[in-house]
């Protein structure tokens, strides 16, 4: 039997920090102790369930009602319409309520370790950047989301400078990279969350092995002390 409850772990940070690589490394560590972990990418408006919903609505009503993912003129035109923008945001928040309040909690009750690639903080930053006039974080749905979202056992912010993010995104040929100003804003917001104590900050400029070792040590140290 496991010595402690299987953990809930999240990863955040600007693009290029190596989150996917570190999640893959950590998955093997968790598997040895708690069985196969659940790995879930949970950016608001882009979860698997929300993507299925958007595809269904586009088939039924046309793409002007539910804009496609990615940056495009069609998407920009759609989201300039207030009722479409607000419907999109409301559905995105309700979708996260389902995932965090029901699915993530259900996985944990069944003893599964869970790794979240992005969490509500990442979605908050997205909404601030993309919908600055909507004040989503002041609405009842968002406040409820914050209440039902489980508190993670570990929250890692893999931090790299903006210029390094730009360099790595170019090397990976990212299809929709953020520009320098957007990355700088994201990084400021992540740093502000870190100052609130919501993250353990990991220096993403270290080697992949050193970052993995720091994450593994933090997770296993918590297990040993529980």
Q: Number of structural domains, the chain?
A: 1
Mean pLDDT computed over 157-179 = 94
CB neighbours of 70 closer than 8 A, spacing ≥ 6? Answer: 175, 176
Determine, yes or no, domain membership for 2.
Answer: no
Residue owning tokens 């804009």:
67
Domain that holds residue 87: 8-225
Cα(30)–Cα(12) distance, integer angstroms: 19
Mean pLDDT computed over 89-107 = 95
Angle CA 150–151–154, to nearest 5: 125
Structure tokens given for 11: 């990863």
pLDDT surpassing 60 at residue 62: no
Of the CA atoms within 13 Å of residue 110, those in its CB half-sphere come to 12
Determine, yes or no, domain membership for 98.
Answer: yes
Do 151 and 194 form a contact (C-beta atoms < 8 A)? no
CB neighbours of 209 closer than 8 A, spacing ≥ 6? Answer: none
Helix (H) or strand (E) holding 152: none
pLDDT band for 2, please (50, 70, 90 cuts): very low
Determine, yes or no, domain membership for 164.
Answer: yes
Report pLDDT digits (tens) over 68-80: 555 655 566 666 7
CATH code for the domain in which residue 167 is found: 3.40.50.300
56-65, 87-96, 116-125, 214-223, range with greatest mean pLDDT: 116-125
Determine, yes or no, domain membership for 3.
Answer: no
Structure tokens given for 136: 């989503």
Residue owning tokens 């989503």:
136
The mean-pLDDT minimum among 17-21, 34-38, 62-66, 167-171 falls in: 62-66
CA distances from residue 112 to 31, 69, 179, 219 in whole angstroms, order as listed: 10, 30, 37, 15
The mean-pLDDT minimum among 47-56, 73-82, 121-130, 176-185 falls in: 73-82
The mean-pLDDT minimum among 35-49, 140-154, 191-205 falls in: 35-49
Determine, yes or no, domain membership for 83.
Answer: yes
pLDDT surpassing 80 at residue 26: yes
Determine, yes or no, domain membership for 1.
Answer: no
* % of the chain residues with pLDDT over 70: 86
Angle CA 89–186–87, to nearest 5: 5
pTM for the model:
0.88
pLDDT surpassing 50 at residue 11: yes
The mean-pLDDT minimum among 24-38, 45-59, 172-186 falls in: 45-59
């Amino acid at each position: 039997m496991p010595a402690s409850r299987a953990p809930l772990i999240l990863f955040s940070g600007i693009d290029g920090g190596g989150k996917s690589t570190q999640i893959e490394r950590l998955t093997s560590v968790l598997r040895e102790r708690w069985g196969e972990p659940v790995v879930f990418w949970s950016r608001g408006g882009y979860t698997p369930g929300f993507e299925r919903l958007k595809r269904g609505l586009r088939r039924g009503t046309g793409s002007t009602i539910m804009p496609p993912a990615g940056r495009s003129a069609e998407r920009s035109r759609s989201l300039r319409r207030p009722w479409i923008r607000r419907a999109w945001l409301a559905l995105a928040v309700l979708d996260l309520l389902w995932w965090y309040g029901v699915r993530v909690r259900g996985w944990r009750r069944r003893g599964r370790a869970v790794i979240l690639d992005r969490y509500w903080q990442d979605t908050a930053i997205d909404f601030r950047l993309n919908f600055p006039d909507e004040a989503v974080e002041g609405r009842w749905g968002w406040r409820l989301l914050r209440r039902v979202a489980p508190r993670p056992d570990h929250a890692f912010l893999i931090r790299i400078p903006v210029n390094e993010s730009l360099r790595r995104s170019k090397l990976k040929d990212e299809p929709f990279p953020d520009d320098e100003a957007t990355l700088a804003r994201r990084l400021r917001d992540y740093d502000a969350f870190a100052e609130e104590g919501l993250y353990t900050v990991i220096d993403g400029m270290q080697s992949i092995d050193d970052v993995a070792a720091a994450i593994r040590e933090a997770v296993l140290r918590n297990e040993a002390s529980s």
